[in-house]
């Protein structure tokens, strides 16, 4: 763990500041490029978020300006764009998730990197390197945390550890040296916050936006030499590991750093629904494909979840769009009825459909099984005039063990961009994202992503 007398914070900071682009294996860079594409798609979809207009109003009120691009909109100050883009990425519940810590990582990493890069002649290759460093930083810290203890204290990962990755990504764009990167990490830790007391409200998504702005602030302050703790992770008095968790492993943060890539465990979401019920949606599509299942065929559908997933999503209602995106019953019912899973399935008009509501309430049972894997789901269907059918999903489509193809991410991008950015501009942006390492300037990409 120790390196030249450094603790884990210093080792991680030195690596983040100095790792050469050529030292990052091509498959890892490609994974980061795909996550970048997915993040932009999620931010475009987030323009349709119910609370996006509120967050945009706040950003324009307290952080107006024109230094950086809001994806799918206009321009704001760097901090304003980091705030609003951070929210948009997570606004409609379709962004990534690092399952070991239930941490949505990209909303805290990509927006501050883009805000720091714009107007500075940063290349696409530099951006991919910065995003890779940021993703690896947050997931490495997540790997070191004892998540059971962390979650037992009520903490929500994006607001606590997300800013570290944002600081690393923005700090890399700003060419921070190892000492200043370590200060950036200390400043990120100084802003660590966010608890599950807000579950079921939009504030649970604001934690990602906070992590984005906290990371940009941390890197920008550190760039100017602003001092902070030099060992924020393991400091005995207020360090992240001792304060937010217990039984954490500092060794896990830096073990085989630069050889094993924790970011490869980040999963993506193909559908707008809570990360923990993506297996439910996957299983419904499996039933439709294998058995041509239709609502009229179903007498009773039993959905079995893990105990943690059941506690969060098993009996969540669907009174509004936000809760519907978290509801096992609604997701299963509406995907079966529509044979589709996108934002159209969560509109107020769709939520008011009496047939889907009755199916969700009367024909779906949701249960928990302590033996079920956290990422898993099983569905058993008693059919009216045929034999029962069932399906089990250990992981959902999009999980790190069942990853999305590039084509599936491209389809997601196009669906998200439709009606937000003109088609010629969105296709131009897509071409740049698919060849991001060859892009001469990130400014060209951001110009294409602005709404006309």
pLDDT digits (tens, 9 = 90+) for 220-273: 999 999 999 999 999 999 999 999 999 999 999 999 999 999 999 999 999 999
Calculate mean pLDDT across residues 59-67: 97
Q: How many domains does the chain have?
A: 2
C-alpha–C-alpha distance, residues 178 and 295, integer Å: 59
pLDDT at residue 2 in the model: 44
Clarify whether residues 289 and 411 are in a common domain.
Answer: no
CATH number at residue 230: 1.10.4100.10
Question: Distances from the Cα of 212 to the Cαs of 36, 90, 205, 441, in angstroms?
Answer: 15, 11, 12, 22
- Closest C-alpha to 44, from 417, 347, 412: 417
Q: Strands (DSSP E) along 2-146, which ranges?
A: 68-69, 75-76, 97-98
Q: Is the pLDDT of residue 295 over 80?
A: yes
Clarify whether residues 87 and 165 are in a common domain.
Answer: yes
Calculate mean pLDDT across residues 410-439: 98
pLDDT digits (tens, 9 = 90+) for 120-166: 999 999 999 999 999 999 999 999 999 999 999 999 999 999 999 99
Clarify whether residues 16 and 115 are in a common domain.
Answer: yes
Clarify whether residues 57 and 94 are in a common domain.
Answer: yes
Calculate mean pLDDT across residues 62-67: 97
- Closest C-alpha to 289, from 399, 438, 422, 397: 397
Confidence of residue 1 (pLDDT cuts 50, 70, 90): very low
Question: Residue 38: which domain range?
Answer: 8-270+402-449
Task: Copy the structure tokens of residue 63.
Answer: 């952080």
pLDDT at residue 278 in the model: 97
C-alpha–C-alpha distance, residues 271 and 75, integer Å: 28
Is residue 409 assigned to a domain?
yes
| Cβ neighbours of residue 349 closer than 8 Å, sequence gap 6 or more | none
pLDDT at residue 81 in the model: 98
pLDDT digits (tens, 9 = 90+) for 353-386: 999 999 999 999 999 999 999 999 999 999 999 9
Is residue 3 assigned to a domain?
no
pLDDT at residue 4 in the model: 54
pLDDT at residue 431 in the model: 98
Clarify whether residues 286 and 354 are in a common domain.
Answer: yes
Clarify whether residues 40 and 184 are in a common domain.
Answer: yes
pLDDT digits (tens, 9 = 90+) for 34-60: 999 999 999 999 999 999 999 999 999
Clarify whether residues 123 and 261 are in a common domain.
Answer: yes
The pTM of the full predicted model, rounded to 2 decimals, is 0.96
């Amino acid at each position: 763990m120790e390196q030249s007398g450094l603790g884990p914070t210093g080792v991680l900071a030195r690596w983040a500041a100095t790792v050469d682009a050529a030292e990052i294996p091509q498959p890892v860079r490609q994974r980061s490029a795909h996550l970048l594409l997915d993040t932009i798609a999620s931010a475009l979809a987030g323009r349709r978020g119910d609370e996006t207009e509120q967050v945009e109003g706040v950003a324009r009120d307290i952080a107006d300006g024109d230094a950086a691009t809001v994806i799918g909109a206009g321009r704001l100050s760097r901090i304003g764009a980091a705030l609003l883009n951070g929210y948009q990425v997570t606004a409609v519940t379709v962004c990534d998730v690092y399952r070991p810590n239930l941490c949505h990582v990209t909303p805290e990493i990509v927006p501050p990197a883009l805000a720091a890069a714009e107007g500075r002649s940063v290349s696409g290759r530099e951006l991919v390197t910065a995003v890779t460093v940021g993703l690896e930083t947050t997931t490495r810290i997540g790997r070191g945390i004892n998540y059971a203890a962390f979650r037992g204290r009520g903490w929500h990962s994006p607001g606590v550890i997300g800013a570290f990755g944002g600081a690393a990504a923005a700090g890399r764009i700003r060419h921070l040296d190892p000492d200043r990167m370590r200060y950036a990490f200390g400043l990120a830790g100084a802003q660590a916050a966010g608890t599950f007391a807000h579950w079921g409200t939009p504030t649970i998504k604001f934690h990602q936006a906070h992590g984005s702005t906290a990371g940009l602030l941390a890197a920008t302050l550190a760039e100017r030499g602003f001092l902070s703790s030099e060992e924020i992770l393991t400091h005995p008095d207020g360090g992240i590991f001792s304060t937010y968790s217990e039984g954490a492993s500092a060794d896990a943060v830096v073990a085989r750093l630069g050889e094993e890539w924790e970011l490869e465990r980040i999963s993506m979401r193909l559908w707008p629904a809570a990360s923990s019920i993506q297996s439910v949606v996957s299983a419904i599509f499996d039933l439709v494909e294998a058995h041509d299942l239709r609502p009229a065929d179903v007498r009773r559908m039993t959905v079995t979840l893990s105990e943690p997933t059941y506690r969060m999503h098993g009996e969540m209602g669907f009174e509004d769009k936000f809760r519907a995106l978290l509801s096992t019953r609604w997701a299963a019912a509406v995907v079966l009825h529509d044979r589709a899973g996108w934002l159209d399935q969560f509109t107020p008009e769709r939520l008011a459909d009496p047939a889907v509501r009755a199916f969700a309430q009367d024909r779906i049972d949701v249960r928990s099984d302590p033996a079920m894997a956290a990422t898993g789901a099983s569905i058993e269907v008693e059919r009216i005039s045929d034999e029962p059918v069932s399906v089990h999903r250990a992981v959902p489509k999009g999980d790190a063990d069942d990853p999305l193809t590039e084509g599936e991410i491209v389809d997601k991008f196009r669906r998200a961009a439709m009606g937000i950015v003109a088609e010629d501009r969105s296709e131009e942006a897509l071409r740049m994202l698919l060849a991001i390492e060859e892009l001469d300037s990130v400014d060209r990409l951001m110009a294409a992503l602005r709404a006309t």
